[in-house]
Amino acid sequence: MDYQQILERIYQSILPYAKEGKQADYIPELAKVNPDQFGMSIHTIYGEEASIEQADTRFSIQSISKVFALAMCLSIKGDDLWLKVGKEPSGSSFNSLIQLEVENGIPRNPFLNAGAIVMADILYSHLENPEDDFLAFVRAVSGNETICYNQNVAMSERENGYLNAAIANLLKYHGTIENDIESVLHFYFMMCSIEMSCRELSLAFLAFANHRRKFNYAGIELTASQVKRMNAIMQTCGFYDEAGEFAYLVGLPGKSGVGGGIAAIYPLQYSVAVWSPRLNPKGNSVMGIKALELLTTETKESIF
Ligand code: GLN
């Protein structure tokens, strides 16, 4: 399979969508990003790789960081994690409060903001230096020591993070989180602020694409079946209220973020990351979804 040629062809086909959608502006720092950018990178478990356009430009990974948080929580808590957060698709937006109230402060799944704030609380309780340890894990799984938080993005989000603060308060009221709200929110926003390029993200996700290889990075160990289960959660919950549509169009487990990134995997074959800041109304990258739809259509490689 000549992935380089395929990616280049895909890019030409999606150019008509280049101006569709709108970048996230509820985080003021993200509104400053040039929306007319696109990158894509793919890595196979056999060592092939292909990248196009701005595949080496770093962007805010935002909710894609929730995959790394889930890996750490599963490694630390095992199945006890599921006492505090569910694993069912929500059918609601990533920052919705309604379901959380009706379901007594137990988030539907770890990829909603509420679920990720619960994971931030768990990690905050268990890690000696939460910010250092989280970054060390992301760097180890990516094989790249230069990956960093962007403090400005984290601060900018905190200053305007009224909805996430409301979610954290509801979680605290129900006793789902144990640490003080400000510390948990700060850590959550820091995790979301990590910056990576498509090439770096794709390489990191290779760890989830190949569950037959030992998963052990910076002391975070997962069994093969834990990795498979993480992929199941990416498939069912990775795109919020668009998870069904993404399964229908693309057919790969993956995770999106409001920075415009999407990382996805085809188990035992490849990992792929794509980035373009313009989002559809559900908060997922317009060109990103299109590119992945064409990738699995052209290669006939998807889980379905
Ligand atoms: N930091 C963002 C938020 O909490 C993450 C949302 C996302 O990427 N979907 O709103």
Q: Which residues contact 34 (CB under 8 A, 6 or more apart)?
A: 277
Residue 74, pLDDT > 90, answer yes
Q: What is the mean pLDDT of residues 34-62?
A: 98
pLDDT at 75: 98
Question: What's the CATH number where 265 sits?
Answer: 3.40.710.10
- Domain co-membership, 119 together with 160: yes
- Domain co-membership, 168 together with 277: no
What is the 8-class DSSP label of residue 241? G
Rounded to whole angstroms, the Cα distance separating 38 from 32 reads: 16
Give the atom of ligand 1 at the shortest distance from the alpha carbon of 259: 8
- The rounded Å distance from CA 48 to ligand 1 centre is 32
Confidence band (pLDDT; 50, 70, 90) for 44? Answer: very high
Structure tokens at 233: 């959660």
**Burial label, 225 (beta-carbon count in 10 A; 0-12, 13-18, 19+):** exposed
pLDDT at 232: 97
- Domain co-membership, 104 together with 248: no
Residue 34, pLDDT > 90, answer yes
- Domain co-membership, 49 together with 131: no
Residues lining ligand 1, Cβ inside 6 A? 62-63, 94-95, 113, 157, 164, 192, 257-258, 283
Residue 210, pLDDT > 90, answer yes
Rounded to whole angstroms, the Cα distance separating 115 from 121 reads: 10
- Domain co-membership, 54 together with 68: no
Higher pLDDT, residue 212 or 50: 50
- Domain co-membership, 170 together with 83: yes
Say what the pTM is: 0.97
Q: What is the mean pLDDT of residues 22-28?
A: 93
User: How confident is the prediction for the chain on average, in pLDDT?
Assistant: 96
Q: Rounded to the nearest 5 degrees, what angle is found at the Cα of 119, between the Cα atoms of 116 and 123?
A: 140
Rounded to whole angstroms, the Cα distance separating 59 from 199 reads: 11
Rounded to whole angstroms, the Cα distance separating 218 from 269 reads: 24
- The rounded Å distance from CA 190 to ligand 1 centre is 11
Last residue of a domain, one of 138, 165, 193: 193
Give the atom of ligand 1 at the shortest distance from the alpha carbon of 64: 8
pLDDT at 91: 85
Confidence band (pLDDT; 50, 70, 90) for 288? Answer: very high
Residue 304 lies in a domain: no
pLDDT at 92: 85
Q: What is the mean pLDDT of residues 162-169?
A: 96
* Among 30, 118, 192, residue to substitute to test ligand 1 (most atoms within 8 Å of Cβ): 192
Closest CA to 185 of 235, 283, 136, 116: 116
pLDDT at 54: 98
**Mind listing the pLDDT tens digit for each residue in 247-274?**
999 999 999 999 999 999 999 999 999 9
* Among 33, 62, 111, residue to substitute to test ligand 1 (most atoms within 8 Å of Cβ): 62
pLDDT at 284: 93
pLDDT at 96: 87
Residue 93, pLDDT > 90, answer no
Residue 184, pLDDT > 90, answer yes
- Domain co-membership, 166 together with 153: yes
* Among 94, 150, 275, residue to substitute to test ligand 1 (most atoms within 8 Å of Cβ): 94
Last residue of a domain, one of 193, 221, 242: 193
Last residue of a domain, one of 143, 159, 193: 193
Number of domains in the chain: 2
**Which domain does 283 fall in, by range?**
3-62+196-299
Closest CA to 46 of 301, 269, 300, 302: 269
Rounded to whole angstroms, the Cα distance separating 63 from 82 reads: 20
- The rounded Å distance from CA 192 to ligand 1 centre is 7
Closest CA to 249 of 239, 259, 260: 239
